[in-house]
Amino acid sequence: MTSQCDISNQNARKIIVFDTTLRDGEQSPGASMNLNEKVQVAQALVELGVDVIEAGFPIASPGDFDSVREIAKVVRGSSVCGLARCVDKDIDRAWEALKEAENPRIHVFLATSAIHREFKLRMTREEIISRAVEGVKRARGYCSNIEFSPEDACRTEIDFLCKVVEAVIDAGATTVNIPDTVGYTTPFEMTKRIETLMNRVPNVDKAVISIHCHNDLGMAVANSLAAVAAGAGQIECAINGLGERAGNCALEEVVMALRTRRDFFGLDTRIVSQRLVPTSRLVSKVTGLKVSRNKAIVGRNAFAHESGVHQDGVLKERSTYEIMSAESVGFVKNDLVLGKHSGRAALADRIKALGFDLSKERLDAAFDEFKRLADLKKDIFDADIIAIVDRQNASRLTGKEADWRYVSYSLSSGSESKPSFKAVLSQNGIEHTATSDEGDGPVHAMFWAVQQIVGLRILLKEFKIDAVTCGSDAQGEVRVRVTDVDTNIDYLGRATSTDVFEAALQAVIDAVNRIQHAREGQQA
């Protein structure tokens, strides 16, 4: 069997990590991100040590094009990739977006399975091969780093798949990806498919064979591991397993499986595992998709031992019940709770340990906020500090002069009376007030008041409150999903405060500002 890529000094073949959080991941229902958020995620992926960042699908929309172009401009150290169907206008547009990248990659795809050929494309096998070859050649005219994906490869007849792979490598593809587009395959079949390609495609050593697994049957990680064990050299995956339908192979899981079981696989990646948790948190924050507590590697309970027997074992010898350490994936050991007497240096230390890097100016602002919070709340936990840092980063990324800002609110409500909500917001330094006696509850009344002030036609689709930490003095985190009725696009809003009504109002303001930014972007 042929195996690909270099051998590290630890004798572990290095697998290329191709992250598609910003492309396939963004196709998760409700996971859309704005340009600033995508750039922030791309920068986090660089720090994580991802080899290739699939930044988007440039022909799909002007917003996608702009974010791929911006990421291509700012990212250094990882290759930046853009997706294109196998048609000239897609490939040209992808190049237009990618051309300023340090190491651009064009990813061209065309379906090859009988179902797709017959019902979707209405093309013969010969036509598929010649279209694929033409697409790869056109992309090669722009740059030397070309990936080709035969979409639905895992349901494609193996003899035909071998021919397609051989033809696109001859045409200049440097990576050939084998997608399990519908999450249908099993690890046993995957092993056989990759081994067959490695043994039967005569020019296979001229390209990296890659794998892209969807999780419809919950086997995306297992299938990806089977593929690399059989000789594939690249894994396509997404943070928190985001992606179309049930998602893609989860980056954090596949990377930690390879690292923890290096004894078995003899493989590894260049991922800085301590950045996994901070990156997962960032992606969860910007997409609004929460990570479940029991999610492997990055879930809040992934390293929590509840049973007395387990706790006893771990205290005596950690390895009795732990196969990796929480610190190795980026959870911070929290011996010290901060409070109102903690100084700037202690806060700065904790922020750093949590994986954030704030400028002096942002740190000063974070410290002021920390002091205000410490007056309201005795113990300040890591989750409180993360909330403070998030607020600082959010104002840096989205703060504009014309944004709406929270000033104050007052509310009267009860089981015997109708709610009344008075909101005071400001824009360009001018205060605006509205009082609403509408609605069948205080949140409804608050939403009406905001609508009157901002003058947008919006609908509140989702409203969620979570406590950031334990204790009755915990900060409340409110997440809202608001629809812009004129465009029918959903926007997320998020805010934290020790006062949940203030958080609710701020979360709606956050969503309103996002709607305004998107509208300005469309006009530009």
User: Interface with ligand KIV by CB under 6 A: which residues?
Assistant: 24, 109, 149, 151, 177, 179, 181, 212, 214
Comparing CA positions, the residue from 466, 467, 406 lying closest to residue 433 is 406
- CA quadruple 344, 345, 349, 354: dihedral, nearest 10: 0
Query: Based on CB atoms, which residue is closest to ligand KIV, 108 or 271?
Result: 108
The residues, any chain, with a CB within 8 Å of residue 99's CB and separated by 6 or more, are 72, 142
Residue 141 φ then ψ, to 5°: -65, -20
Residue of 433, 409, 426, 435 whose CA lies nearest to 513: 426
Residue with tokens 């089977």: 226
> What is the sign, positive or negative, of the torsion defined by CA atoms of 131, 132, 138, 139?
positive
Toward ligand KIV, which CB reaches closer, 82 or 493? 82
> For Zn ion, which stretch binds (CB under 5 A), given 16-24, 261-269, 280-288, 447-455?
16-24
Q: Which amino acid is at 213?
A: C
d(CA 391, CA 163): 53
Count of beta carbons in the 10 Å neighbourhood of residue 233 = 22
Nearest approach in angstroms of CB 179 to Zn ion is 6
Return the closest-CA partner of residue 2 out of 193, 177, 157, 199.
199
Out of Zn ion, ligand KIV, none, what residue 109 binds, judged by CB under 5 to 8 A for its kind, is ligand KIV
Distance, CA of 175 to CA of 408 (rounded, Å):
56
Task: State the minimum distance, in angstroms, from the CB of residue 245 to ligand KIV.
Answer: 10
Beta carbon of residue 181, minimum distance to ligand KIV (angstroms, whole number): 3
Query: Taking the complex as a whole, how short is the minimal distance between the CB of residue 265 and ligand KIV, in angstroms?
Result: 24
Residue 142: count of CB within 10 angstroms of its CB: 17
How many chain residues are in contact with Zn ion, going by CB under 5 A? 1
CB 287, min distance to Zn ion, A: 17
Residue closer to Zn ion by CB (options 246, 348) is: 246
Place of tokens 């905001």: 450
We find the least distance from the C-beta atom of residue 108 to ligand KIV, in angstroms, to be 9
Q: Please state the closest distance from residue 214 (CB atom) to ligand KIV, in A.
A: 6
Closer CB to ligand KIV, 24 or 490, in the complex: 24
**Nearer residue to ligand KIV within complex by CB, 69 or 214:** 214
In the bound state with ligand KIV, the residue whose beta carbon lies nearer, of 176 and 302, is: 176
| Nearest to Zn ion of 24, 147 (CB atom) | 24
SS3 content of the chain, % helix, strand, coil (to 5): 45, 20, 35
26 interface partner picked from Zn ion, ligand KIV, none, CB below 5 to 8 A per type? none
Q: Tell me whether residue 65 or residue 409 sits nearer to ligand KIV (CB atom).
A: 65
Written as one letter, the residue type at 278 is P
* Cβ proximity to Zn ion, 24 vs 152, nearer residue: 24
Q: Which does 149 bind (CB under 5 to 8 A by kind): ligand KIV, Zn ion, none?
A: ligand KIV
Q: How many residues are recorded in the chain?
A: 524
Rg (CA), the chain: 25
Q: Hey, what amino acid is at 79? A: S
Evaluate whether 369 touches 388 at the Cβ level (below 8 Å).
yes
Segment near Zn ion (CB under 5 A), from 18-26, 272-280, 438-446, 478-486? Answer: 18-26
- Shortest Å distance, C-beta 487 to ligand KIV: 26
As measured in angstroms, the least distance from the Cβ of 211 to Zn ion is 11
451 binds, among Zn ion, ligand KIV, none (CB under 5 to 8 A by kind): none
Residue 69 interacts with, from ligand KIV, Zn ion, none (CB under 5-8 Å by kind)? none
Q: Kindly state the smallest distance separating residue 117's Cβ from Zn ion, in Å.
A: 18
DSSP H helical ranges for 172-209: 187-200
177/451 with CB nearer ligand KIV: 177
Is the CB of residue 83 less than 8 Å from the CB of residue 151?
no
Cα 214 to the center of its chain, rounded Å? 15
Sign (positive or negative) of CA dihedral 181, 277, 511, 56: negative
Considering CB distances under 5 to 8 angstroms, the limit depending on partner class, which of ligand KIV, Zn ion, none binds residue 27?
Answer: none
Q: What is the number of the residue whose Cβ is closest to Zn ion?
A: 24
Going by their DSSP bridges, the two strands 476-484 and 489-497 should be labelled as antiparallel
Query: Closest distance between Zn ion and the C-beta of residue 181, in Å?
Result: 6
Find the binder of Zn ion among 19, 24, 152, 166 (CB under 5 A): 24
Stretch that binds Zn ion, among 17-25, 115-123, 223-231, 365-373 (CB under 5 A): 17-25
Element (H, E) at 179: strand 175-180
Cβ distance 324 to 374 under 8 Å?
no
Measured from the CB atom, the residue of 181 and 451 that comes closer to ligand KIV is 181
- The phi, psi pair for 15, rounded to 5°, reads -90, 135
Closest distance to ligand KIV from the beta carbon of 109 (Å): 4
For residue 90, state whether it binds Zn ion (rule: CB under 5 A).
Answer: no
Q: Which does 151 bind (CB under 5 to 8 A by kind): ligand KIV, Zn ion, none?
A: ligand KIV
Strand duo 208-213 + 175-180: pairing: parallel
Nearer residue to Zn ion within complex by CB, 21 or 516: 21
Pairing of strands 146-151, 175-180: parallel
Residues that bind Zn ion (CB under 5 A): 24
